[in-house]
Amino acid sequence: MKNLIFTLFTLLVYVQIHAQEGHYVNVNGVRLYYETHGSGEPLVLLHGFTMSHNMWEPFVEDFSKTYKVILVDLRGHGNSTNPSNEFTHRDSAKDIYGLLDSLNIDKFYAMGFSSGGMTLTHMATMDTTRIKAMVIIGSTSFFPDSCREIQLSVSYENTGEERMNYLKKQHPGGEKQIRSLLIQFNNMANSYDDMNFTNPYLSTIKSPTLIIHGDRDAFFPVDIPVNSYKSIPNSYLWIVPNFRHSTPKKGTILGSLFMETITMFFDGNWNE
């Protein structure tokens, strides 16, 4: 009986420590959903387009041992609203700064995948003082023709069953929300001012930047991250062989190397 009580008490403490703390904040006409995990210096994690904060779930426990992890659903994604049904990475960057201002967070670490990384690129050029260090994965400085072709080809009707099941799990608004996101994705194909970072513009980024990119990324060929690496003054480049537009999976050799590399980078040891 004592063992059972002890086990239940331990489980209750574990749940309390690791329970997510979900909140909303109203910024720029949208209701933004976010969660906080752990304590320490702030670490903002931003997901890719049509995804949600859940993409970072495998890594939250490890990061929250050192950082106050802030997970966000970008406008129109997951539990966040977007009444305008329009999306630009510039607006997304303003949203995240609005959230951080509401939390009285000035300086922070950050990591973003795909659209999350593009949002961070905007943030790092909007204000060169606030991001202490950032990791951008599978991101880009502009949309090449190969990407625009993919953006135009996507629709609700031609989305496969497995992908659709994933989208439904991420977006509680169901078909209406998913259709809106896919139309916004289509519209990016005709956008030329949102993601249009020239080399001189990239050179204004002051934050130490780790660029991670797969050499099999169908959206953004490797010459784009290579160019960003050459343009951003204090940057590092990791081209992952035989890797596509994704993030490494936890529990794999690459996933372990991913965590180890990012931890060392955020620790600042590479500056030596």
Encode pLDDT of 204-257 as tens digits: 999 999 999 999 999 999 999 999 999 999 999 999 999 999 999 988 999 999
| 235 and 229 Cβ atoms separated by less than 8 Å | yes
Between CA 255 and CA 243 the distance in angstroms is 12
Phi, psi of 266 (to 5 degrees): -65, -30
∠ at Cα 45 (53, 16), nearest 5°?
65
CATH of 20-271, one of 3.40.50.1820, 3.50.50.60, 3.30.1330.30, 1.20.810.10: 3.40.50.1820
Note the pTM of the prediction, 2 decimals.
0.91
Average pLDDT, the chain: 93
Between CA 33 and CA 230 the distance in angstroms is 35
3-state helix, strand, coil in the chain (%, to 5): 45, 20, 35
What is the reported pLDDT for 21? Answer: 61
What are residue 43's DSSP bridge partners?
69, 109
Handedness of CA 230, 249, 105, 50 (dihedral sign): positive
Burial class (CB in 10 A: 0-12, 13-18, 19+), 9: exposed
| 87 and 80 Cβ atoms separated by less than 8 Å | no
Is residue 44 within a helix (H) or strand (E), and if so which, with residue range? strand 41-46
Order of strands, sheet of 21-27, starting from the edge strand that comes earlier in the sequence: 21-27, 30-37, 67-72, 41-46, 108-113, 131-137, 209-214, 235-240
Query: Which residues in 181-262 belong to E strands, given as ranges?
Result: 209-214, 235-240
Condensed to tens digits (0 to 9), the pLDDT of residues 163-199 reads 999 999 999 999 999 999 999 999 999 999 999 999 9
Sort strands 30-37 and 67-72 into parallel, antiparallel or unpaired: antiparallel
Share above pLDDT 90 across residues of the chain, in percent, rounded to a whole number:
89
Between CA 21 and CA 75 the distance in angstroms is 19
Taking the domains of the chain in order of start, what are their residue ranges?
A: 20-271
Q: With 90 as the cut, is the pLDDT of residue 10 above it?
A: no
Phi, psi of 114 (to 5 degrees): 55, -115
Between CA 222 and CA 217 the distance in angstroms is 8
Between CA 133 and CA 252 the distance in angstroms is 25
Position with higher pLDDT, 14 vs 150:
150
Q: With 70 as the cut, is the pLDDT of residue 151 above it?
A: yes
